[in-house]
Structures are given as structure tokens and as C-alpha cells.
Amino acid sequence: MLGMVGIQAFALQANRDARIQAQAAVFARELAEMMRGNKAIAVLTTASSNPYLGSFSSPLALATPNYCLRVANAATGCTSTTDIASAEMTDWLTRVDAALPGARVVVCYDSAPYDSNGLPQWGCTSSAGGNNDIAVIKIGWTRTNTDRSQTGSNALLSAADTGSRPYIILPVTSGNSL
């Protein structure tokens, strides 16, 4: 009987982890579609001119949130594509923070999202000319350590920990022009 209880607990944890990973993948695809829909801003390679770019740790938020897409602001609305991008990121980061425990998000132009061992990395590496750089969305969150011998704070793997790796990496491609 105790063996069955252990299997049930492990199955519940695995189900939770799978649900959170699926939700993170949906969030990454959603952000990629927002960036494709606002290409004029998404192609800009500096975070100061492109609100989609940045490194965010929980609690996730832009330095200057923008709420111009709210219904209450319908009379004035957003006045530029940069405002739209900022408002989209404000909303998106809020929803990601609510859904993913201890979330960490990095959106950058990166020529090497994986290290020399083929493992994902948080850092963003620009190529010399920037010609091989592609926008990449990297998402991580706090999850239970699969090493069951770990206890206390070691029982959790945080995306903010030194040496952590993103769990989702999604390159943002331009799509087709049709």
C-alpha cells in the first residue's frame, strides 16, 4: 500500500510539472506572435527601444508598465507601436508571473542560446555583426528537484539560482509574408 501512495504522489507531481511546462510553452508562443504582429518594434535590437526585450525575474514587471490597452483607456488608447509593445509586455509578464512559480524570462537577440555542451543558457551572446542573431524567448520557473534525496531549500530548483538553465527556449522566426 505504501508503494502505491508513493507512486500516486510522484504521478501527481509529474502531472503538475507537465501542466506548468505546457503553460510556459503557450506563453512563449503567445509572446512570439505578439512580436510578429508588431514587427516594427520587435526587430529593434536594443532593450531601450524594444519593450519586448529584457531580463525579468519574479515578480515579473516592466520598469515602466503601460496600461494603454485597457478598456478604461479606450478614449486615448495607445499612441505608438512602442506603447502597444509595452502594454502587451505589461499584461503578458503579469500573467506569466501568476501562472509560473518563481518565473524568470529572458527575451533577447542571441546567436548562441545553447552552450558548447548543447545545454540551454540564460545569457545572450551576440555575434560580431549581429547577422546570425535571432530573437529568442527563454523561460524558467521554480520546480521540484528530481533528486528525492534533497530536502529543505535543496528540494526546489529555482530559475533564479546560479547555474540554473531555462526550461523553454523558443526562437522567434519571422513567419511567412502571406
pLDDT in tens, 144-165: 776 667 767 676 878 888 888 9
CA distance 90 to 84: 10
* Average pLDDT score over residue span 63-78: 83
Least confident range from 41-45, 89-93, 174-178: namely 174-178
Q: Which residues contact 127 (CB under 8 A, 6 or more apart)?
A: 111, 133
Per-chain mean pLDDT for the chain: 87
Domain locations along the chain: 1-172
CA triplet 42, 47, 52: central angle to 5 degrees?
Answer: 40
DSSP state of 153: G
pLDDT in tens, 20-64: 999 999 999 999 999 999 999 999 988 899 999 999 998 999 989
